[in-house]
Homo-oligomer: A and B are copies of this chain.
Amino acid sequence: MKGSGALLDIAVIGAGRIGRIHARNVALHPRARLVGVTDPDARAAAGVAQALGSEVISLDDAFGAKAVLICSPTPTHAGYIERAATAGQAVFCEKPVDLDATRVRDCLEVVRRAGVPLMVGFNRRFDPSFASLRRRLEQGEIGTLEMLTITSRDPSPPPATYAAQSGGIFRDMAIHDLDMARFLLREEPTKVYAVGSSLVDPEIGRAGDYDTAAITLKTASGAICQIGNSRRATYGYDQRIELHGSVGLLRAGNATATTVEAAGSGGFRTDTALPFFLERYAAAYQAELDAFIAAVLDGTPAAPTGEDGLRALLLADAATESARTGLPVRV
């Protein structure tokens, strides 16, 4: 169902959970063509390619396409970005660019020199409800933003082994919320305070990480942001944002599969929140791809940028340090 205009040839690197989403969205996109999928796990790549009527390609081939979506494991990101940039490709990379800020800076410098568009996968910016918050805030609907509250809870914890290698809850999970904070505050936080606990899975605690955490950000203008994270939520993937401004409030809540409400002697009951990011952010992933394709084909700005990725990482680093030392950190 490709349209009649120019199509962007896109290769997808990585056939895991997130690679599958992006590959499917490319295959369905009226302005793109999925040139193929590559993954060291040949079976995974074949599974994705076959389901989409596409092909398995080599990594080299992937770097030969006009654009590339990098959905491979985190440690490969920076290298792949550099290789793609050097090859002159437009690059979309899942977050994070790298867990090490210095490595990120070096990578972004390569991109800068190559002059190619780079977009980082902070998908939540494209959620219709969250995007609407930003738009309405910019339109002045609630005046000046004074307090921002972000609630972000995963339905269940990852394996403790994953937690250990993920860079910790702040770099792995809260980084999304820190990016949303920047996106909505439209100003850089200057002070970060974080606390963490291990309440959900003791193994996560033994691995040196937290599964329950709170972050407080403050900006130069005095706006305050509170983020609450948990690695569990029995009622679905809990993703809410509230903005308190000088003349009003804006908030976006959870999405549900249906609008059905049931009533009985136990009260009135609605659906749980959608189970996890694949469902909750389905529309966001599509809009994110729209933006990437438009950036390449139409020359619109590619955002969130690599710089956005770096800033969010620096905040996550600060939160990690704050939770460890027990002291606020200036950034």
Contacts and interface: CB of A to CB of B under 8 A. Distances in A.
Contact of A27 (B1, B50, B258): B1
A255 B259 contact: yes
A197 interface: yes
B267 A234 contact: no
Nearest to A3: B51
A235 B248 contact: yes
Contacts of A327: 327-328
Interface of A: 1-4, 24, 27-28, 30, 34, 50-54, 128-129, 132-133, 136, 141-142, 144, 146-147, 149, 151, 153, 191, 193, 195, 197-200, 212-214, 216, 218, 222-224, 226, 228, 230, 232-235, 238, 244, 246-255, 257-272, 326-328
A265 B197 contact: no
A262 B137 CA distance: 11
Given A3-B50, A266-B272, 16 more contacts: A4-B51, A147-B212, A193-B193, A216-B216, A234-B249, A234-B264, A234-B265, A235-B267, A249-B263, A250-B263, A251-B260, A251-B261, A251-B263, A254-B259, A255-B259, A268-B271
A132 B258 contact: yes
Contacts of A128: 257-258
30 contacts: A1-B34, A1-B52, A1-B53, A3-B50, A3-B51, A4-B51, A128-B258, A129-B258, A133-B260, A147-B214, A147-B228, A149-B151, A191-B326, A195-B216, A199-B222, A200-B246, A212-B224, A214-B224, A230-B244, A234-B247, A234-B248, A235-B249, A235-B263, A247-B264, A250-B260, A250-B263, A251-B261, A266-B272, A268-B271, A327-B327
